[in-house]
């Protein structure tokens, strides 16, 4: 039996002001999350992005074309009710941050990692007050517990909507530091994405591109860029 799909039944989507923030109404009917909670977001900018997604639907509703709606649903239905667990999961990346694991060879890759990743760790030391140690190879070496505590505290301080976007920034890049750099606008978001792909791009230069890998990377990049847009929309008011 085929899965039931919702068809577009509305003609107009509007942003509404409500207790606790802003909602979206379809022909006057308030949108709810999959868990039947009111879809109320903290900024008008975010609510407008969600309303635009609903307005753009034609015929059968396609959730995959509605990233702001999906992220808001996740923030309300999942992250808000499991905030501590999600924050712990994301903060754990600090103990195995991508930027800390360096190649032993070839020399060109070693030099490129130093040139591109060391400045990010230097930024973290100044902006986040943490020092992370680099190492060669893939064997795990624990980081300074005090540094991890600082990173965890900063992660737990994020509200559910920030943490939703931050979760994707970190998990898609493999780096807690890159995630924080995105939150702080330390670099352009496209540049941060390339920093997270440094090893893959190096390999592609020597072995050529793989169509399947490139397609997968493009999907991840789109999700990474959206995560930043989601956080920006939240902060825009």
Segment 152-204, tens digit of pLDDT: 999 999 999 999 999 999 999 999 999 999 999 999 999 999 999 999 999 88
| Whether pLDDT at 113 is above 70 | yes
Whole-number pLDDT of residue 128? 98
CATH number of 83-236: 1.10.3580.10
**Omega before 106 within 30 of 0, i.e. cis:** yes
Contact 27, 11 (CB under 8 A): yes
Whole-number pLDDT of residue 2? 38
Average pLDDT of span 68-94: 98
Whole-number pLDDT of residue 213? 87
Q: Which has more pLDDT, 86 or 204?
A: 86
* pTM summary value: 0.94
What homologous superfamily is domain 13-63 in, according to CATH? ATP12-like (3.30.2180.10)
Segment 191-219, tens digit of pLDDT: 999 999 999 999 888 878 888 888 999 99
The beta-strand segments (E) located in 64-200 are 101-102, 135-136
* DSSP code string of 75-108: IIIIITTTHHHHHHHHHGGGGG-GGGEE-S--HH
- CA gyration radius for the chain? 20
Domain boundaries, the chain: 13-63, 83-236
Look at residues 5, 192, 159 and name the one whose alpha carbon lies nearest to residue 72.
159
């Amino acid at each position: 039996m085929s899965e039931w799909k919702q068809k577009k039944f509305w003609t107009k989507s509007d942003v509404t002001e409500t207790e606790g923030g802003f909602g979206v109404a379809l022909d006057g009917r308030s949108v709810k999350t999959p868990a039947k909670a009111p879809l109320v977001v903290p900024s008008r900018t975010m609510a407008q992005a969600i309303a635009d997604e609903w307005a753009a639907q034609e015929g059968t509703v396609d959730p995959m074309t509605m990233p702001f709606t999906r992220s808001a649903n996740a923030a309300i239905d999942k992250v808000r009710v499991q905030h501590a667990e999600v924050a712990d999961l994301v903060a754990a990346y600090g103990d195995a941050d991508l930027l800390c694991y360096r190649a032993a060879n070839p020399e060109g890759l070693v030099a490129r990692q130093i040139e591109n990743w060391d400045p990010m760790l230097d930024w973290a030391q100044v902006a986040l007050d943490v020092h992370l140690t680099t190492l060669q190879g893939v064997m795990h070496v624990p980081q300074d517990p005090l540094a991890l505590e600082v990173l965890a505290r900063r992660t737990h301080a994020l509200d559910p909507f920030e943490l939703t976007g931050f979760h994707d920034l970190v998990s898609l890049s493999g780096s807690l530091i890159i995630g924080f750099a995105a939150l702080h606008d330390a670099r352009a978001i496209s540049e941060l994405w390339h920093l997270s792909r440094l090893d893959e791009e190096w390999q592609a230069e020597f072995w050529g591109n793989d169509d399947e890998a490139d397609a997968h990377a493009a999907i991840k990049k789109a999700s990474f860029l959206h995560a930043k847009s989601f956080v920006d929309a939240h902060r825009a008011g």
